[in-house]
């Protein structure tokens, strides 16, 4: 095998053979294929695509590059969830302990934020003492004793994907659907979960801007999971507007705790319960009611145990940014649009996100929303509050909010998008 012939095959819209795929993934993981060569192949895949056979083999090759986990020793069925990323998407935080409270084990391997989308690990690290890095033994212990664990994927899990993801991020190939699907599913299949629910975001604040691309991605991933023996279902969910009323790290943890306490924004509660029901059904648990587990406090109990088991203090005060800046409504009327991407960029510029993987994040930075589409606002009332430790960032963040919202005349009728747009199984 040689990498030039592999690149040329896909450049010329050909189908990569199983042998070519196995060889190039292994060679790249070992360092025998250079970054610039894999970059060329990734761009060819972005432009020319892959068929289902190629994607399945690519995914299998990435799984084979590392170890596979096994949860057969657990007394509960396992169910996992993956979101393709959005703004204010804090759903994993209340969802994992909620599903655990209903009888499933939730081995949630999560990631960090990059660009305008937030990262679950960054959010949880705003809790004093909480640890994202666990050994496989520690992960299994937390899962066995609390029912849920949220942690970083170990270096041994699909190392080819870890290396390729970092390359795609800096070469403009993140959006390639075959590479997104194989990246997500290689980690989830190697993780060893028995069932998987995918939350595929659609809208301005998501990687998939239109529902056709989102449906293609979801169908591809459901097929990969099913072919590998993992019960897999996908929900397409709206990401044109931020989820909840916060975008940031400690801000989103605080809102998640409100949900676990029986309150919180209606859209966060609705999506959390919808995903919980899908996870429980996929795990074969028929008689549990996630809405009841939120109301009776059992989900909160599992949250506290999960956080404490990973070194965190569930009673500790969360970080608060040193500086705030309030943006007021420019006119009176009905808020008809609040753009998720613009809000996400503002939160990122305030310090809630990172431009490179090695950049630090501010725990207290982010954007707090005081109104959502459909609400009536009055000129001069607070619309959003910006939070940061570095006030010199305010002007940069405000630039992204110049066209983030529309306010229509008073009395304008408004019909919001449904949160769940479609289901693919």
Distance between CA 244 and CA 265 in Å, rounded?
A: 5
The one catalytic residue in 90, 123, 162, 168 is 168
Q: What is the edge-to-edge ordering of all strands in the sheet holding 376-377? A: 376-377, 333-338, 405-408
Share of the chain above pLDDT 70, in %: 99
The model's pTM: 0.93
Looking at 3.40.50.1980, 2.40.50.100, 3.40.640.10, 3.40.1030.10, the CATH number of the domain 80-154+172-309 comes to 3.40.1030.10
Distance between CA 246 and CA 257 in Å, rounded?
A: 13
CB 127 within 8 A of CB 316: yes
| Domains 80-154+172-309 and 323-408 belong to one CATH topology | no
82 is catalytic: yes
Q: pLDDT band at 357, cuts 50/70/90?
A: low
Place of tokens 């949250």: 303
Fold classification of 3-49 is: 1.20.970
161 is catalytic: yes
Residue boundaries of the structural domains of the chain: 3-49, 80-154+172-309, 323-408
The one catalytic residue in 80, 122, 161, 342 is 161
- Per-residue pLDDT tens over the stretch 297-307: 999 999 999 99
- Per-residue pLDDT tens over the stretch 97-139: 999 999 999 999 988 876 778 889 999 999 999 999 999 999 9
Give the total residue count for the chain: 425
168 is catalytic: yes
75 is catalytic: no
DSSP letters, 190-228, are HHT-SEEEEEEEESTTSS--SHHHHHHHHHHHHHHHHHT
Q: Of 200, 229, 232, which is closest to residue 216 (Cα–Cα)? A: 200
- Per-residue pLDDT tens over the stretch 286-295: 999 999 999 9
The one catalytic residue in 90, 187, 387, 393 is 187
Average pLDDT over residues 373-379: 97
Average pLDDT over residues 157-176: 87
Residue 359: the pLDDT is 78
The one catalytic residue in 183, 195, 240, 256 is 183
Share of the chain above pLDDT 90, in %: 90
Question: Does residue 405 have a pLDDT over 90?
Answer: yes
Rg of the chain's alpha carbons, rounded to an integer? 21
Paired with 149 in beta bridges are 107
Neighbours of 366 (CB within 10 A): 31
Distance between CA 37 and CA 406 in Å, rounded?
A: 45
The one catalytic residue in 10, 57, 81, 82 is 82
CB 361 within 8 A of CB 353: yes
Question: Does residue 251 have a pLDDT over 90?
Answer: yes
Residue 378: the pLDDT is 98
CA 285 to each of CA 4, 231, 424: distance values in angstroms, whole numbers, following the listed order: 50, 13, 20
Residue 113: the pLDDT is 77
- Per-residue pLDDT tens over the stretch 197-232: 999 999 999 989 999 999 999 999 999 999 999 999
Q: Which CATH superfamily is domain 323-408 in?
A: Pyrimidine nucleoside phosphorylase-like, C-terminal domain (3.90.1170.30)
């Amino acid at each position: 095998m040689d990498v030039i012939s592999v690149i040329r095959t896909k450049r010329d819209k050909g189908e990569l053979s199983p042998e070519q795929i196995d060889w190039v993934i292994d060679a790249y993981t070992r360092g025998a294929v250079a970054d610039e060569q894999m970059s060329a192949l990734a761009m060819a895949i972005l432009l020319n695509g892959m068929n289902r056979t190629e994607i399945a083999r690519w995914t299998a090759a990435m799984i084979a590059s590392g170890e596979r986990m096994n949860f057969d020793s657990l007394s509960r069925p396992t169910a996992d969830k993956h979101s393709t990323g959005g703004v204010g998407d804090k759903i994993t935080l209340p969802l994992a302990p909620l599903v655990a409270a209903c009888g499933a084990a939730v081995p949630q391997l999560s990631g960090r934020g990059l660009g305008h989308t937030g990262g679950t690990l960054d959010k949880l690290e705003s809790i004093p003492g909480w640890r994202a890095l666990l050994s496989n033994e520690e992960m299994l212990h937390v899962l066995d004793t609390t029912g849920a664990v949220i942690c970083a994927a170990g270096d041994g899990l699909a190392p080819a994907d870890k290396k390729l993801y970092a390359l795609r991020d800096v070469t403009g190939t993140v959006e390639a659907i075959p590479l997104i699907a194989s990246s997500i599913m290689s980690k989830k299949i190697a993780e060893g979960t028995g069932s998987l629910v995918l939350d595929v975001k659609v809208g301005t604040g998501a990687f998939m801007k239109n529902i056709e691309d989102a449906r293609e991605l979801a169908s591809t991933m459901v097929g990969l999971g099913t072919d590998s023996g993992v019960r897999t279902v996908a929900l397409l969910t709206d990401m044109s507007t931020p989820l909840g009323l916060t975008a940031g790290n400690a801000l989103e943890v605080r809102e998640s705790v409100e949900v676990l306490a029986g309150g919180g924004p209606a859209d966060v509660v609705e999506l959390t319960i919808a995903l919980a029901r899908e996870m429980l059904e996929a795990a074969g648990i028929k008689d549990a009611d996630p809405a009841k587990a939120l109301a009776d406090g059992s989900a909160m109990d599992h949250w506290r145990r999960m956080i404490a088991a990973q070194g965190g203090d569930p009673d500790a005060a969360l970080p608060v940014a040193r500086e705030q800046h309030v943006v007021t409504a420019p006119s009176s009327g009905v808020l008809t649009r609040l753009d998720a991407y613009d809000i996400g960029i503002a939160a990122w510029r305030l310090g809630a996100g990172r431009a490179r993987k090695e950049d630090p994040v501010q725990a207290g930075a982010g954007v707090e929303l005081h109104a959502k589409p459909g609400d009536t606002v009055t000129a001069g009332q607070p619309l959003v509050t910006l939070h940061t430790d570095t006030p010199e960032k305010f002007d940069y963040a405000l630039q992204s909010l110049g066209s983030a919202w529309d306010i229509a005349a008073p009395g304008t009728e408004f019909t919001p998008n449904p949160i769940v747009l479609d289901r693919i199984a």
